[in-house]
């Protein structure tokens, strides 16, 4: 058994509204909003690090759960924008939490990484006891803030999210998950190291949307079929916050009520692998009491990697 016990999140203080971004990328603020559903996103400061953002989310999550860092059996950290490839941010976060022997694992997958982390944690919890899953990104350093980089620059922001997966207790049990990878299409969405060791995201937006619109509903339906559910059964759908238009297209493909899809990207932008857990934390804080219906998590990202995870309310 594995349970979701708590969430946490952290957003940098600097708000970048469409009006500010428009002057840099040569696009009207109204067009940015209609194309993405985003009004503003957060940017990290020059002193911030991916690990630093992850640490803030980790501490928030542990505080909510009432769990000390020393009680963790493992830490998983997903990031596609880490300043350093190896070691990645997971070991630094563990060190800042005062841990010197707890095992950690970095998941260098943009956008879908935290979903992969939840699935891995569900399998490891029986051995580790408590697994802290993190998604931390500074995507503002991976974009081109010019008219040439407009299509990606309008999307991305910075932040971190966290989830504590516990083998024994939590408000929802992880019932099932399904992950997929298609490396033959990896070139349409990737992050590469360019000059001066600067990471740069390359995205064929139209191809990504077409792939995601097909693959996300399909993998969610795989879970429904295995677990005897229909699209109307979940009370909440928590998706990677990539683009509001994409999320609504997924809802339409599933024939699921749009109001059950939690969306916070209007204020946060697309924070890559952090977005799923930031959204989950905001959603959970908005709840009055324990959720009474199944919860669906889903993401699509670089790799290409995609998947879905089903959680059901604990008795």
Reported as a single tens digit per residue, the pLDDT across 232-262 is: 999 999 999 999 999 999 999 999 999 999 9
Residue 107 belongs to what H/E stretch?
strand 104-107
Whether residue 197 has pLDDT greater than 70: no
Euclidean distance between CA atoms 212 and 182, whole angstroms: 12
> E strand or H helix at 311, and its extent?
strand 305-313
d(CA 120, CA 48): 28
Non-local CB neighbours of 18 within 8 Å, separated by 6+ positions: 29, 32, 33, 38, 39, 40, 154
- DSSP annotation of 159 reads E
Q: Which two tokens stand for residue 243?
A: 């683009």
What pLDDT is stored for residue 196 in this prediction?
64
Q: Is the pLDDT of residue 203 over 90?
A: no
Quote the domain boundaries for residue 314: 1-315
The CATH number assigned to the domain holding 159 equals 3.40.47.10
Note the pLDDT tens digit of each residue in 274-309.
999 999 999 999 998 788 999 999 999 999 999 999
For the chain, the average pLDDT equals 95
Q: How many domains does the chain have?
A: 1
Global confidence as pTM: 0.96
Q: What is the pLDDT of residue 290?
A: 82
d(CA 290, CA 274): 23
Tally the residues of the chain.
Answer: 315
Torsion region of 138: left, alpha or beta (phi above 0 gives left; psi -120 to 50 gives alpha): beta
């Amino acid at each position: 058994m594995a349970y979701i016990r708590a969430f946490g999140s952290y957003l940098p203080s600097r708000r970048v509204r469409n009006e500010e971004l428009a002057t840099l990328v040569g696009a009207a603020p109204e067009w940015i909003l209609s194309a993405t559903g985003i009004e503003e996103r957060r940017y990290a400061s020059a002193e911030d690090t991916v690990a630093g953002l992850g640490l803030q989310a980790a501490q928030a999550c542990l505080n909510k759960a009432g769990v000390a860092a020393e009680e963790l059996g493992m830490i998983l950290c997903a990031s596609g924008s880490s300043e350093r490839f190896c070691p990645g941010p997971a070991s630094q976060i563990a060190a800042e939490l005062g841990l010197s022997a707890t095992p950690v694992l970095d998941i260098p997958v943009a956008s879908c990484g935290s979903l992969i982390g939840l699935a891995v944690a569900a399998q490891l919890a029986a051995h580790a006891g408590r697994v802290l899953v993190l998604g931390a990104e500074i995507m503002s350093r991976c974009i081109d803030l010019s008219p040439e980089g407009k299509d990606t620059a309008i999307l991305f922001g910075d932040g971190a999210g966290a989830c504590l997966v516990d083998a024994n207790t939590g408000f929802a049990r992880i019932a099932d998950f399904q992950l997929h990878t298609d490396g033959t299409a990896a070139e349409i969405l990737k992050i590469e190291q360019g000059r001066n060791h600067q990471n740069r995201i390359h995205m064929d937006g139209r191809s990504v949307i077409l792939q995601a619109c097909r693959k996300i509903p399909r993998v969610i339906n795989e879970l429904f079929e295995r677990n005897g559910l229909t699209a109307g059964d979940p009370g909440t759908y928590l998706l990677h916050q990539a683009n509001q238009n994409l999320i609504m297209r997924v809802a339409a493909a599933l024939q699921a009520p749009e109001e059950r899809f939690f969306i916070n990207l209007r204020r946060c932008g697309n924070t890559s692998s952090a977005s799923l857990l930031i959204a989950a934390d905001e959603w959970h804080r908005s709840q009055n009491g324990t959720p009474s219906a199944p919860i669906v998590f889903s993401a699509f990202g670089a790799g290409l990697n995609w998947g879905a995870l089903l959680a059901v309310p604990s008795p």
